[in-house]
Chains A and B, each alone.
Chain A
Amino acid sequence: MAASENITSSEFIRHHLTNLTFGQHPDGSWGIAHSAAEAGQMGLMAVHLDSLFWSFLLGALFLWMFRSVAVKVTAGIPGGLQNFCEWLCEFVDENVRGSFTSKNDLVAPMALTLFCWIFLMNLMDLIPVELIPRLLQLFGVHYQKIVPTTDPNITFGLALSVFGLIIYYSLRVKGALGFAAELTMHPFEAKNPLLKILFMPINFFLEFVSLVSKPISHSLRLFGNMYAGEMIFILISLMYGTSIVLTLFGGVLQFIWAVFHILVITLQAFIFMVLAIVYMDMAHQHH
């Protein structure tokens, strides 16, 4: 079905990599973009409806599930779902205890939210790439990317939120001067005041780069892994409908890659959570 007569492979791939974008058309009217080029022209004021929909839906699903447990939570014998939620909470709590040395009640719930939310968003990758876009096409929705974490907006959104918390707590714990000192007094240190001042720009450059690289590496790691995984699923789905042998081979490949991907999506969610905890810990450290 992929490499049918009217669209080429590259068109198929591009189609699958285009978000359902809502924004302002060049002629001034607002609406949904009808092609990748149109979506690109919408610029900064556009919104990826599919990414945001799935992101919100999955986050809400996670919160709804945990909330339904939290409403009737009991310290007595827990039921099945409560057991599961407690297990996740304890897992996150252990990680926070292991990596986060200061006291901040926000870090653990943030880590839990990040882990579960990102895991669910990554999990969308295991749904066959063609399934939901095809279904939606019947209702006139032409573009659909159902894995929010393959959208850099989503991963950067999460990483920048964590980054915002890093800056906020750095300033709150160390004060503006302390934070400034952290950025300018390391890694080159000197007793001599003149040398100190001389080192400041160099230190600031190094520290600033390492500070800014945090959200970038944080988000790009998740995005890159998920984007690559998604791309392989799309490439595998190119085989379908060409010949029986290739279709069967594609099916086997998709199964193998999906099984391997279960590891990747869990690992990436876990890594994102752990890095967020570690960054928060660094923000709370005094030097």
Chain B
Amino acid sequence: MNLNLTLAFQVLFFVIFVWFSKRFVWTPIIGALNERKTRIADGLAAAEQGQAAEQEGRKKAEEVIDEAKQQASEIINKAEKYGSELVEQAKQNAREEEGKILTAARAEIDTEINRARESLRQQVGELAVAGARQILRKEVDASAHAQLLDDLAAKL
């Protein structure tokens, strides 16, 4: 219970310890704590920024997708229209071609008929002359009866 020089030594220890504590313990540890605080704050801010950017990006992407969809539907519409036009055109062409082919075929048929008729006419004359020769048992002068024969052939 005696107060003595111990007290002075304790004061000395206190001074040394507090000085050491301030210089070599408190300053670095609190420095690290503060640095971490700023780091965390920076990280949070960056995260917030990232989130905002992400949202913006998503919005933009949605816009792009919408536009693309619209364009796609436009393209599809156009293609459909073009396709139906093509089909229409093809039908038209086919119809025209058909008409042409038909008329050509008809014309050919007509000429064939005429040719056949022509040859038939000739043959009819010859047949008639030959027939008459048989009937008359004599030569018939074809040229003498040419008028008659021609009339006959025209009747055919």
Task: List residues of chain A with CB under 8 Å of any chain B CB.
Answer: 17, 19, 21, 23, 39-40, 42-48, 51-52, 55-56, 59, 62-63, 66-67, 69-71, 73-76, 85-86, 89-90, 93, 105-106, 108-110, 112-113, 117, 151-154, 156-158, 160-161, 164
Contacts and interface: CB of A to CB of B under 8 A. Distances in A.
A39 B29 contact: no
A47 B6 contact: yes
B21 A153 contact: no
Contact of B14 (A85, A152, A158): A158
A70 B17 contact: no
A79 B13 CA distance: 30
Contact of A157 (B7, B30, B36): B7
Interface centre among A52, A117, A153, by most chain B C-beta atoms within 10 angstroms, is A153
Contacts of A52: 6, 9-10, 13
B26 interface: yes
A75 B2 CA distance: 48
- B-side interface size class: 20 to 34
A57 B18 CA distance: 15
Given A55-B10, A67-B24, A153-B3, A110 B29 contact: no
B6 A70 contact: no
Nearest to A105: B22
Contact of A44 (B4, B11, B25, B39): B4
Contact of B13 (A19, A43, A55, A74): A55
A89 B5 contact: no
B39 A75 contact: yes
B16 to A, nearest CB: 8
A75 to B, nearest CB: 4
A62 B17 CA distance: 10
Contacts of A42: 2, 4
B32 interface: yes
Contacts of A47: 4-6, 9
Nearest to A76: B36
Contacts of A161: 10-11, 14-15, 18
B22 A110 contact: yes
14 contacts: A17-B1, A19-B2, A55-B10, A63-B25, A70-B24, A73-B29, A75-B33, A90-B33, A109-B27, A152-B3, A153-B10, A156-B3, A157-B14, A164-B11
Contact of A112 (B4, B11, B21): B21
Nearest to B38: A75
A75 B32 CA distance: 5
A153 B4 contact: yes
Pick the 9 closest A-B CB pairs, nearest first: A157-B10, A153-B6, A109-B26, A109-B22, A75-B35, A161-B14, A70-B28, A48-B6, A66-B25
Given A46-B6, A158-B14, 17 more contacts: A40-B2, A45-B4, A45-B5, A52-B10, A55-B10, A63-B20, A69-B29, A70-B25, A73-B28, A73-B29, A75-B33, A86-B29, A90-B33, A110-B18, A113-B21, A117-B17, A160-B11
A269 B105 CA distance: 124
Contacts of B2: 19, 21, 39-40, 42-43, 46, 153
A117 B18 CA distance: 10
Contacts of A76: 36
Given A63-B25, A66-B25, A161-B14, A86 B33 contact: yes
Contacts of A70: 24-25, 28-29
A145 to B, nearest CB: 11
Contact of B6 (A51, A59, A109, A113): A51
